[in-house]
Amino acid sequence: MKKILITGGAGFIGSHVVRLFVNKYPDYQIYNLDKLTYAGNLENLKDIQNKPNYHFVLGDITDDAFIQKLFEKEQFDGVIHLAAESHVDRSITNPNAFVFTNIIGTVNLLNAARAIWKEHPEGKRFYHVSTDEVYGALGQEGFFTEETCYDPHSPYSASKAGSDHFVRAYHDTYGLPVIISNCSNNYGPNQFPEKLIPLFINNIRHNKPLPVYGKGENVRDWLYVEDHAAAIDVIYHQGPDGETFNIGGHNEWKNIDLIKVLCKVMDKKLGREPGTSEKLITFVTDRAGHDLRYAIDSSKLQRELGWKPSLQFEEGLEKTVDWYLNNQQWLDNVTSGNYQKYYDEMYGNR
Ligand code: NAD
Ligand code: DAU
């Protein structure tokens, strides 16, 4: 029997990872540790919340004493660490929150894992989920590989880079059994509508402007979130200690091109005249330090562990739009703050 701690499991990617592990491994006990910030939503997990192998723990990874006690009590066999402040724009207005959660929170988890695994690290695993943004920005050509030097530009990517360095340092210094993956932009159900795709779906639904940063020429590599969760499963179980794996969709889109496709899909799904949603596009001041292009070379993961994306982008985008349109109450709840009010009432002063 394995006990696995998944941090940030009430968030976007974390909820898909928790669901996959709870359903696929009924013999594992899955502990979801989440602070339930604005981005954490237990509604994302309501289909599995009563499963006997699922446990929710409300807590903050920046709380050193709490994390230590939790590890001492539960004696986890593995950690899959996703909890983070994840939005670049928020990191520009409030960098400190990113330092606390992404760097100090990660180090607290590393310390706690080290303390309980010191004598017997065999068979244990600390999996740190990171981002392609640590590699900086590409020009028109080339891809990020696992050997690309770190060159973060935003407070978000700098904090993720810092956490990656600590994870590797704990492997090299203390022999902690770690593994890291760096993934490209995810899309799919349950993403908080501050990120490009769900924000624009929500705005189109309300006929609100679509704020395109700069000229919309920045390029991102998009991966359906369930494919990321599947990659995490493969890497957690089969990746060798101390290794890094890049995860990506081989699916690059210039923002403006992606937005136009999204507008077409939305017009079709909402039964609107073709071209209606595109009229909402509004070019606004660019994001400070906006990285031009990200593109991931995930051939190591494909070659060594046999993972590849399962969905074509057009199919994934339709599925995503369908999910948001079929779950408009979810969108209304997270944008109205009702669910935060519910947590405050349920858990009191956190
Ligand atoms: P998210 O913002 O949707 O979710 C983050 C979760 O972490 C939330 O449930 C939140 O409540 C929780 N959390 C935040 N601070 C916490 C704290 N101090 N203690 C405990 N829990 C806390 O994020 P996401 O988009 O699902 O990203 C998850 C991870 O994957 C992050 O580490 C992110 O850097 C990484 N990542 C994201 C993407 C992407 O496209 N979204 C791509 C590559 C990597
Ligand atoms: O690459 C992986 C990263 O992808 C993750 O590590 C981050 O957690 C995740 O948020 C995402 O970062 P991005 O900054 O790429 O995602 P975002 O959805 O914020 O923006 C995608 C692109 O769209 C980016 O070039 C900025 C642009 N954009 C975004 C928003 C929210 C706009 O033009 N307008 C917008 O309103």
pLDDT tens track for 250-274: 999 999 999 999 999 999 999 999 9
Query: 3-187+221-247 adopts what CATH topology?
Result: Rossmann fold (3.40.50)
Region of 187 (left: φ > 0; alpha: ψ -120 to 50; beta: rest) is beta
Among candidate residues 127, 156, 294, 324, the one labeled active-site is 156
Regarding the beta carbon of 218 and ligand 2, being less than 6 Å apart is answered yes
Among candidate residues 133, 164, 227, 252, the one labeled active-site is 133
The pLDDT value recorded for residue 338 is: 76
CA 262 to ligand 1 centroid distance, Å: 24
The pLDDT > 70 percentage for the chain reads 99
How far apart CA 136 and CA 41 sit, in angstroms, is 30
Q: Of 270, 316, 280, which Cα lies nearest the Cα of 200?
A: 280
Distances (CA, A) of 306 to 230, 233, 242, 275, 310: 11, 12, 19, 41, 12
Regarding the beta carbon of 83 and ligand 1, being less than 6 Å apart is answered yes
The pLDDT value recorded for residue 348 is: 64
Query: Where does the chain hold its CATH 3.40.50.720 domain(s)?
Result: 3-187+221-247
Query: 196-219+252-288+312-340 adopts what CATH topology?
Result: UDP-galactose 4-epimerase; domain 1 (3.90.25)
Query: Where does the chain hold its CATH 3.90.25.10 domain(s)?
Result: 196-219+252-288+312-340
Q: What is the pTM of this model?
A: 0.98
Regarding the beta carbon of 62 and ligand 1, being less than 6 Å apart is answered yes
Direct distance between the N- and C-terminal alpha carbons of the chain, in angstroms, rounded to an integer? 32
pLDDT tens sequence across 7-55: 999 999 999 999 999 999 999 999 999 999 999 999 999 999 999 999 9
CA-nearest residue, atom 13 of ligand 1: 83
**In ligand 2, which atom is closest to the CA atom of 186?**
4
